[in-house]
Amino acid sequence: MTPPAPLKLFRDEAQVETIQCLSCGGPIALHSFGARQRVVCPHCGSTLAPEDSGALALLEAASRKHQSSVLPLHARGKLDGTLWEIIGICWRRCVVDGVAYPWQEFLLFNPWHGVRWLIYSNSDGHWQLGQALDGAPQILKTRHHGVRFGKQRYKHFQGAIAVVTYVEGEFTWEVRVDDKAEINDFVAPPRGLSIEQSSGPDGVELNFTVARHIDAAEVWRAFQQPGKPPRSRGIGALRPNHWHRGRRSMWLSCLVFVAAWWLLSDRLAATRHPTIAFQRDNIGFDEPFAQEIKIGTPGETTAIEFTFAASPLDNAWAYADVLLVNLANDEAVGFGIEASYYHGIDGGESWHEGSSRTTHTVGGVAGGQYLLQLQPQRGGTGSTPTEYEVRVVQDVYLTRYSVLALTTILFFPLLAWLFGWLFERRRWNNSDYSS
């Protein structure tokens, strides 16, 4: 069986045609077949337009100097797997609050895929790749002005009058310097939608363009430009918010972590039964104190809460060197604990600090028989304490473990949310809705 003949392409391979400018005689390369509406000489800026016969006629002679754009005319580059050539360059700008915001539009052409726009913003160095919208967006009656196209909603970002300031190359529309158009940009980063309205002799023309953010490095690589691209500054209108990337999985994992935290905290609380292992009051300061006590269950480790209270305590301090000596192996835990209370009047205002009662939490205490030994000290300018009280509570529930775990679990998603929000705030500060 004979295999079917390969499909013939609708169009043949692109042929580059070269003509001479009818004004300055400079060479002009043409690529866009019959789609062209205007050709602007890159050398002198004269405008040529096709006649009914297809031949180009001089529409307007000019003698302006050639200006360099961030990418050169006729540069070729592969974007989205398609090889594009820059056939036209158009500079535009808008003025907002007396500040000019210029940008450069590069008309990309591929004989099989038509045209695209590569847009470079001079003011912030961000790039967009756009194409004509396949239809018209639906205006949404929402609190924030927006449009919808397909399933994608876009929020209004900014509106301005754009003026063409410089053109060179071929164009598929009738472009000329000083052309004005009212542009409204809508965003759903990394995508955006522009509605461009211009008035002409035939009435009002509406153009819809959909664009996406493209990294400067990707453009530079694609068009094989030397060096590095101009540095991007700030947050572009369409730059993706990297804090929003993977936020769904982050919040889902947060939910899982919170559930695990709940179970573990509940289990921990159920196993903790704080009980007083030892309590004694009215102990004098005159000599060291020693008492054999039992802490926890042998073979298990527990956390204890050691409370030391002295009285009366008035502009004075009390301190005790505490030793818990495990009688089974003479291994000891030692720490100092202080209670102090001071008060007075300073500059007509009364103040006080400290407390007559101090609590110390000690973890990792092995269960067993202990000798509790205290060596008390006291002092101060007021009435020094005469007696003190000691209390040891075992199996205490250390809420700090639950608090630390929950804080860690919530901290990262909240941090990502906060940074994402700040990112968006910086983006929208450049919009018509700046706060």
Partner 1 sequence: MFRTTYWICAGLALLLLALDGAAGNYLTTTPDRGRVERDPAGGTVRGAGVFIWYGGGYQGGK
CA–CA distance, 199 with 216 (Å, rounded to integer): 33
Closer CB to partner 1, 179 or 387, in the complex? 387
Which of 158, 190, 388 minimizes the C-alpha distance to 283? Answer: 388
Residue with Cβ nearer partner 1 (5 or 270): 270
Q: Going by DSSP bridges, is the β-strand pair 357-366/314-326 parallel, antiparallel, or unpaired?
A: unpaired
Q: Map residue 243 onto helix, strand or coil.
A: helix
Binding flag, residue 302, partner 1 (CB under 8 A): yes
Among 272, 280, 357, 391, binds partner 1 (CB under 8 A): 272
Region near partner 1 per CB under 8 A, out of 147-155, 165-173, 222-230, 362-370: 362-370
Q: Which is nearer to partner 1, 147 or 320 (CB)?
A: 320
Minimum CB distance to partner 1 smaller for 83 or for 290: 290
Q: Which residues share a beta bridge with 366?
A: 301
When binding is defined by CB under 8 A, the residue of 332, 421, 426, 433 that contacts partner 1 is 332
Give the whole-angstrom CA distance, residue 209 versus residue 219: 19
Burial classification of residue 223, based on how many CB atoms lie within 10 Å of its CB (0-12 exposed, 13-18 middle, 19 or more buried): buried
Nearer to partner 1, 95 or 260 (CB): 260
The verdict on 319 binding partner 1 (CB under 8 A) reads yes
Residue span binding partner 1 (CB under 8 A) among the ranges 11-19, 35-43, 132-140, 282-290: 282-290
274 binds partner 1 (CB under 8 A): no
Told to check if 72 binds partner 1 by CB under 8 A, we report: no
Q: Does 251 bind partner 1 (CB under 8 A)?
A: no
The answer to whether residue 362 forms part of the interface with partner 1 (CB under 8 A) is yes
Of residues 39, 118, 181, 303, which one binds partner 1 by CB under 8 A?
Answer: 303
Tokens of 302: 């527990």
Kindly tell me which residue out of 72, 284, 334, 344 binds partner 1, with binding defined by CB under 8 A. Answer: 334
Report how far residue 362's alpha carbon sits from residue 305's, in angstroms, rounded to the nearest whole number: 6
Q: Please state the φ and ψ torsions of residue 397, each to the nearest 5 degrees.
A: -90, 115
Q: How far apart are the first and last CA of the chain?
A: 71
Three-class SS state of 50? strand
Q: Give the three-class secondary structure for 227.
A: coil
Query: How many residues form the binding site for partner 1 (CB under 8 A)?
Result: 63
Stretch in the footprint of partner 1 (CB under 8 A) among 14-22, 35-43, 93-101, 327-335: 327-335
Ranges assigned E (strand) in 150-202 = 152-171, 180-188, 191-200
Greatest alpha-carbon pair distance for the chain in Å reads 119
Binding track, positions 386-405, relative to partner 1; x by CB under 8 A: ---------xx-x-xxx-xx
Rounded CA gap, 100 and 138, in Å? Answer: 30
Pick the closer one to partner 1 by CB: 62 or 415.
415
Nearer to partner 1, 127 or 317 (CB): 317
Q: How far apart are CA 421 and CA 274, in angstroms?
A: 44
Q: Rule CB under 8 A: choose which of 37, 122, 232, 373 binds partner 1.
A: 373
Retrieve residue 42's tokens.
Answer: 């890159």
Tokens of 145: 């002005």
Interface stretch with partner 1, choices 5-13, 30-38, 195-203, 377-385 (CB under 8 A): 377-385
Question: According to the binding rule CB under 8 A, does residue 257 interact with partner 1?
Answer: yes
- Amino acid at site 76: R
The one-letter amino acid code at 57 reads A
Q: Which of 35, 132, 133, 371 binds partner 1 (CB under 8 A)?
A: 371
- Shortest approach of partner 1 to residue 222 CB, angstroms? 27
Q: How far is the CB of 205 from partner 1 (least distance, A)?
A: 46
For 306-329, letters b (16+ CB in 10 Å) and e give bbbbbbebebbbbbbebbbbbeee
CB of 351 to partner 1, least distance (A): 13
Tokens describing residue 248: 């769904």
| Residue among 358, 365, 226, 229 at smallest CA distance from 295 | 365
Question: Smallest distance, Å, CB 311 to partner 1?
Answer: 15
**Taking CB under 8 A as the rule, does residue 54 contact partner 1?**
no
The answer to the question of residue 246 lying near partner 1 (CB under 8 A) is: yes
For residue 296 the two structure tokens come to 């926890």
**Binds partner 1 by CB under 8 A, chosen from 103, 289, 423, 428:** 289
Alpha-carbon span 428 to 237, nearest angstrom: 8
The yes or no reply on residue 377 touching partner 1 (CB under 8 A) is yes
Sites of contact with partner 1 (CB under 8 A): 246, 249-250, 253-254, 257, 260-261, 264-265, 268, 271-272, 287-292, 301-303, 316-317, 319, 321, 323, 325, 330-336, 338, 340, 342, 360-364, 371, 373, 377, 379-381, 395-396, 398, 400-402, 404-405, 407-409, 412-413, 416
